Structure 1
């Protein structure tokens, strides 16, 4: 490390200063502040700062729009933005709901609670986004890389930037976009700000079930001290919700088998699940920022973010096969008293009906803690160096209990009930009316027991199921950066540095079947309590109880240890080193002024993973003693070179033409990189039966794409803009799950079951499905956005405005459905389609927001629409599964008034309505008109008060 003496002062070499800054930056700044020259400079700078200071206040919808427009207009990349003045003005309880109003951005509602949690940008699934907090990668509490957005209350977020084009100075970028959540910076405020709000919610209005309630409270405090050299911002939020009841119906994939009736085969409903879901949740969040800026040469910022929440969902309902049995204790039915038309029984009665009364409890606790420390030191008029340290840790503990009640497995056939149905036309499964001969709200009928023999018979009774997975994720990063002002033609400045990130993530847990404590294979126990509940909207009543505390009192846990269960435990570690350089541009081309940047990232990755491999050559049972296993490991090392360029041409008249190009990567979800492997005889293959296995791939490399973006933007000062954009992505490498021939002989023994029929009878050769780097394809689209106040047309419409956008996206990528696996290790889309498009891709996405704001009155109506798409949901094991999700339109309303004078000045009251059209969550198999699963959330009304000082 070298130094030079310049005019009596020490001047550090830029990179040497960066390395030393973390330890000596603060002391250096304080020492510099004691010199008389610096004191004079500080006084002059403070006068200038005070004169130019912009007071950041929450001043309504239009102020929020203006701030977001300013960010978009002045950015050198193609970005969309939401500012703090805008967040929270509609019923936006999470960041995901807020940014869903941006062009080309859409969200998927969580199937459990109906809230927007997953964000898709330009037709790519949420896993293709890079998600940052104050420019730093974050840990997650799910199998995915990116954190779940409901962990970030909107009240704690100062602004959100969505980068649609790559930027060499951004770490953790995504292939679709990079979403950067930013908390408040207290020294950006001109004075002390104290704000508080309280909200009360009514949840599930018109859901067809009980109403729920909730409340939210927030407090924000921003202040400056020591002659504005120290800044503090503190945000606290707390909310609790009880959703009341949500009605759900599942038609078992639209199954309509045929039964013999009077010598002919007629179609009847195959089976159904109808239930009511009651969810309770609470979350506490805190955000703290400390800034220290003793002079114009040094600034230090510390960010702390914490979010803790828990959620429980109690499901009560009835499920069972109508026509055929679903287990060894469930015999097939016989159709009588049917009314038949065109081969379809519109009504009838089916014997041997064994219903499962479900009382399930799914709960989880999560917490996310993040810490970041950034230091900037200006060395002279040319050089500035920066260091950044960050730590993020996320944990989720999941507890899933499922119980079944009904008639025990040894119930004589003469005592089994029947089920009658009416109103069936062959496709309208959710409209069919059912009536059972037995009363399942009677605890003498609904006994806690193994109803259908799903455990395999009396030697392994299964009266329920329990799963207890845990997710742990840690991300640590360090970054060193140097900035240099330039006067080299169009090169205005240069930035270069290094970033190192280490990530360790694991999923562990246990699961198994429940059996009645101390009983035999047909044992039963009376259901505690006296509660009854409706089975969804079916009109059937069932016995209800809370299974909390029943393990060890009513049930024993029989832990499963087999290939499928053990494959769910894994760990993945990554070490990513990035060297980057970027130059800012400011010049003229053919009389057109332009700004922008071009740069390069060189990203080296070392990854390793572990997982479990059951030794099927010696596995004779499902316990540790009878089914030994070993830990598999694997990994890879590779380097990606990622160039990028962004240029914005000034066309005059506040018009800009932007061009962006670059190469991008998105890393695979961490559960795809596990080293686990399991297999068994599978009858769902195209050449059934055959040995079929599923594995992770620790050598998996990222998705890769080259992108080209073009955008035209016309601004009307800071009041509004019109933009038209198009984009093209060449997906060079897409990760697919594809089966390939594989010989399982090293993992088999003489006792391993092999296929007995078909072309693979007696063969150890079968099919192994695992994530692989395959060829990609093209995707393209365009976006149109209008965000203008109507006062631009006539002053008579002052206060009125509109924000509207539409995007179209299409792709040539087709993925084989054989690689999408169900909890039973069968193809998710079996018997429906052989290939699907990109998960997360809705071809058409649009939003419209009409508002009025004047004299303290604010009114807004907003609608968000996305067409049907392939989405991801969590199954009963908390594993991600793919499904077809029906397109939907969500409408929100808002009315508020802020007092403009008097002792109530700074106080505002508001009313909000979310999901005004009561749009349900709907799944389908292949035909969007054939709905297989419906969840009705109802409307949510919110009333509250905001106070600002």
Structure 2
């Protein structure tokens, strides 16, 4: 088995005891008087790109956040509009942002300090129409907007990213949601917003001290129980803010911090790649694959299309996450025309995943059916059940860790020298570091028989060996793999923006600005170091698998594996295996990327109020000069074969690689809005944008390691980037109708179309390599290319309303619902088997959210169901036999209930993944399953205090 195959097979791909904190939920029955606050409106952007897109009330969370839900406002005057705080206020604020924005945007606003509707940022984003998420160990980790994954992430209108091999965007699972006041999703940005996205821009907004009228303190404590792993973990957040009038002007300071510790467990059942028996013959009548012809004859399938899997396995992965976030901001207003804001944002994230994988697997080598055993097939000849013999088995104990720290320093100054002119300057520096470790101890042996049945919802299989799977004597060989990786990225950006507002006339304002950014990224990787283990296996642990997949899987029983407590300590693992050193960072394992951009834009905003149908909007252009450079190495590792046949690795040979690229992009934009009535408006938007390749896609580094004698017949894989990739270019069109029939009620319908050039896709190319000892091997190299064209089109429908016309307590009922349809057309890379035409990766054609809300008196509750249909995970990947991988349609149900016990104290109970959703993938067609994945259900109790 190759190192890459071994990594693939590691699997790293009780009621909550709330006590007295939840007893008030039982006791609360009578509704309390609803809290109200004066209505506040929102305005269009003011030209400060780091500022909110909507104006804020004096005590509102920046920007356009819900009114202060913790403190009752003065009673409204007779006849004055009022709005209930909490969910209603956040929905109203988000609706106002969408309604009054100069461009196509959707928002999520925190109901209160530290209270987004979902604790995970990605899972909160999935409630927005057009947004689809992918999960990592049960948590939302990345998003696609309108079917495209090329998303730009910003913090307060500035760059934010996690240093990694890709290094271009923020890992959404890293940031504690309690630090955010809201999230804006720009789907067709205008020219004053930063470029580098195809699908949209996600802007995370933090709070500032001037968002509050004076002193503010808010804190929360959470305990969450994870039912599959059977553990609970705490979380806490605290915000303190105040502002003062001083002799040098008004000064405000805000500090907030959030700490989260989470656990998880993920159980996976995998079926390995499917290979169709090659029964073709040469011109002389001899078979091209004698072994396949013999297998077909043994199965009684001579002349019939027959496809067999080459193995199966399980992964039982445990893990934990730790998030620590800090946000400190200082604001100074020396005069009424001058304001400065300085902010420090730090995000510290740790992820640890560890556990066992166990599998029977031949990779690309033939698999042998057991003579006389019954076999069944689908109508297309795909294997459904049967028994194989003499199958290699693997037993891995592994750990993978990631530690990412991102620090963001920013300074913003806004000067208003006259009533018409506003000048804004902004500076930012980002420093991000990530360290990764992978450590795997593998044991191997041979199974007497492997019996598989993949015809049901959950695949089942049985592995038998002569000595038994819990007998150490079964595992005659072993290996150790370890790998270290370090990434560091920096970004220095500065911009100057100006806006001049005109008095009267159609032209209302002109905005113009300049921006410079210098992004650098360096990644160093040791590569996987392979150490063969000889002699009888030692330091083993008995592993019981009786509760695997909640006991729903029909499996082979318990196993012996290398000690997990030892593997959790990297130094102890190496000591147990008599390995003194760590893998070395070689020059050839380092690659660098740099990107400088020089940008200028101008935008004109207009308003024709005297037309029969009032129209407003903006037109502009953004011009960007990009200079990029990448460096890396081609590295080849040969084997040395001693006289006795033993093999060891030679010193690597390597060749330096590099490429530079410079190009200019002209990106026009147009946004129009027609006000048909006070409540009904139409929008049209057109723009052009680019999305540059991420750093991993242009990294030219490639390492080829010669296979050993035992591996020569297996599938050999490697991966590299393409330094010659061009940026993707998209021409975008949006039309929408928006009906705002109440302060928290709206119905919107939107259509969109994107015409994309140079779309980047994953491909696999074959390369033959001849090594110094004359051995020749064929490698499947995963890389990227620019497809000629891609098109994305679709429609969104979104609706929200509180049913205030209902009698009594039923007035508290409300609903949010949205539906998205997305279709794509793109050239597909060559794909084996039955699937040769593929959609874009990550795109579900259909997606919907349905959220039921109840808010009345002191009770606030919501139940949310999210569903998406099947989508393409990847066009091809290592270990798949060059087949595409799809994920089946799936949905998830989440719920929460809050009791606002007093104006200052609330208690919340959250539940996630109530449906115990199993996420399943398959190779191209559903008769070829790949993974079935089960994750934790979560129950959280939250106490929140605000003064």
- Structure 2 equivalent of residue 335 of structure 1: 370
Among 548, 551, 556, the residue aligned to 2:579: 556
- 1:194 — aligned with what? 217
Q: What is the Cα deviation at residue 251 of structure 1?
A: 0.9
800, 818, 824: which is aligned to 2:813?
800
1:784 to 775, 797, 800: 797
Match of 2:156 in 1: 134
Cα deviation per residue 1:612-648 (whole Å; 9 max; x = unaligned)?
02479x9989999643212211111110000111111
User: What's the counterpart of residue 909 of structure 2?
Assistant: 911
Among 198, 203, 206, which residue is 1:183 paired with? 206
| Residue 625 of structure 2, aligned match among 601, 604, 608 | 604
Corresponding residue of 1:497: 513
Partner of 2:103: 77
Structure 1 residues 806 and 396, CA gap change in structure 2 (3 angstroms) = same
User: How far is 1:252 from its partner?
Assistant: 0.8
Cα distance, 1:735–1:350 mapped onto 2, change above 3 Å = closer
Q: 1:305 and 2:305 equivalent?
A: no
TM-score, normalization: structure 1? 0.79
Pairing 1:66–2:92 present:
yes
CA 1:656–1:467: 2 relative to 1, 3 Å: same
Q: Partners in 1 of 2:771 and 2:700 — Cα distance?
A: 22
Q: Counterparts of 1:234-313 in structure 2 under 5 Å?
A: 234-243=255-264, 245-253=265-273, 259=295, 264-265=300-301, 270-313=310-353
Q: Which of residues 205, 209, 212 in structure 1 aligns to 2:231?
A: 212
Q: State whether residues 873 and 885 of structure 2, in contact with CA within 8 Å, keep that contact through their aligned partners in structure 1.
A: yes
C-alpha distance in structure 2 between counterparts of 1:263 and 1:634, whole Å = 53
- Contact persistence 2:195–2:689 (CA under 8 A): no
* Equivalent residue number for residue 470 of structure 2: 441
2:520 corresponds to 1:526: no
In the TM superposition, what are the counterparts of 1:328-477 in structure 2 within 5 Å? 335=370, 338-340=373-375, 350-407=388-445, 418-419=448-449, 421=451, 424=453, 430-446=459-475, 449-450=477-478, 463-477=479-493
Offset, 1:848:
0.7
Residues in 2 aligned to 1:752 and 1:558: alpha-carbon distance in whole angstroms: 31
Q: Indicate how the Cα distance of structure 1 residues 882 and 339 shifts in structure 2: closer, same or farther if over 3 A, else same.
A: closer
1:805 Cα deviation after fit: 0.5
- Equivalent runs, 1:115-126 vs 2, <5 Å: 115-125=139-149
Does the 8 Å contact 1:508/1:568 carry over to 2? yes
Aligned CA distance change for structure 1 residues 805 and 487 (closer, same or farther; 3 Å): same
How many residues align structurally? Answer: 825
Deviations 1:409-451 (A, max 9, x none): xxxxxxx6523637x366767134555543323344446x33x
Change beyond 3 A, Cα 1:583–1:943: same
Q: CA RMSD in A?
A: 3.9
Report the alpha carbon displacement of residue 260 of structure 1 after superposing the two structures with TM. 7.1
Superposed CA deviations along residues 55-89 of structure 1, whole A, max 9, x for unmatched, are 64463111110110111111011110011227976
Cα 1:769–1:46 shift into 2, 3 Å: closer
> How many Å apart are 1:500 and its aligned residue?
0.5
Counterpart contact for 1:446–1:527, Cα < 8 Å: no
Structure 1 residue 476, shift from structure 2 partner: 1.2
Which of residues 601, 611, 616 in structure 2 aligns to 1:595? 616
Q: CA deviation at 1:310?
A: 1.4
Partner of 1:824: none
Task: Kindly state the Cα deviation for residue 224 of structure 1 after the two structures are TM-superposed.
Answer: 1.6
Verify the 8 A CA contact 2:473 2:536 in the aligned structure 1. Answer: no
For 1:62, what is the secondary structure of its paired residue?
helix
Bigger mean CA offset, 925-934 vs 844-853: 925-934
Who is 1:672 aligned against? 697
Q: Distance in 2 between matches of 1:512 and 1:303?
A: 40
| Cα pair distance change 1:639/1:264, threshold 3 Å | same
Q: Within 5 A, what are the aligned runs for 1:818-837?
A: 818=830, 830-837=832-839
For 2:924, the equivalent position in structure 1 comes to: 926
CA distance in 1, matches of 2:862, 2:810: 15
Partner secondary structure for residue 523 of structure 1? coil
Q: Conserved in 1, the CA contact under 8 Å of 2:262 and 2:322?
A: yes
Query: Counterparts of 2:717 and 2:895 in 1: how far apart (Å)?
Result: 51
The CA deviation at 1:844 is: 0.5
Closer/same/farther in 2, CA of residues 428 and 940 from structure 1, 3 Å limit? closer
* Alignment match, 2:12: none
Could you tell me which residue of structure 1 aligns to residue 23 of structure 2?
none
Structure 1 residue 299: Cα displacement:
0.7
- What SS does the corresponding residue of 2:576 show, helix, strand or coil? coil
Shift of 1:403: 1.3
Contact 1:104–1:783 (CA under 8 A) maintained in structure 2: yes
Q: Deviations over 1:792-851 (max 9, x none)?
A: 5777741111110101111221321x4xxxxxxxxxx64352342111211111101110
- Structure 2, unaligned stretches of length 5 or more? 1-46, 48-56, 71-84, 278-291, 642-646, 708-712
Which of 93, 108, 113 is residue 119 of structure 2 equivalent to? 93
Superposed CA offset, 1:190-220 (max 9, x none)? 23221111111111x3x5xx42322211112
Provide the residue aligned with 1:10 in structure 2. Answer: none
The one of 697, 716, 737 equivalent to 2:741 is 716
Residue 733 of structure 1 deviates from its aligned partner by: 2.9
Work out whether residues 56 and 190 of structure 1, in 8 Å CA contact, stay in contact via their aligned partners in 2. no
Q: Give the drift of 1:115.
A: 0.5
Q: Is the 8 A contact 1:814 1:838 kept in 2?
A: no
In the alignment, the residues of structure 2 paired with residue 109 and residue 494 of structure 1 have an alpha-carbon distance, to the nearest angstrom, of 42
- 2:339 is paired with a residue whose SS is strand
**Pair 940,277 (structure 1): closer, same or farther in 2 beyond 3 Å:** same
In the alignment, which residue of structure 1 is the partner of 2:558? 541
Change in 2 beyond 3 A, CA 1:801/1:627: same
Kindly indicate whether the alpha-carbon contact (under 8 Å) linking 2:639 and 2:648 is maintained by their aligned counterparts in 1: no
Q: Distance in 1 between matches of 2:579 and 2:860?
A: 58
Measured after TM superposition, the shift of residue 235 of structure 1 is 1.6
Distance 2:208 2:859 in 1: 29
> Which stretch has the larger CA shift, 832-841 or 275-284?
832-841
Please, which moves more after superposition, 54-63 or 577-586? 54-63
Alignment match, 1:945: 943
* CA distance, structure 2, for counterparts of residue 782 and residue 374 of structure 1: 38
Task: Identify if the C-alpha distance between structure 1 residues 444 and 930 changes in structure 2 by more than 3 Å, giving closer, same or farther.
Answer: closer
TM-score scaled by structure 2? 0.79
Q: Which moved more, 1:88-97 or 1:722-731?
A: 88-97
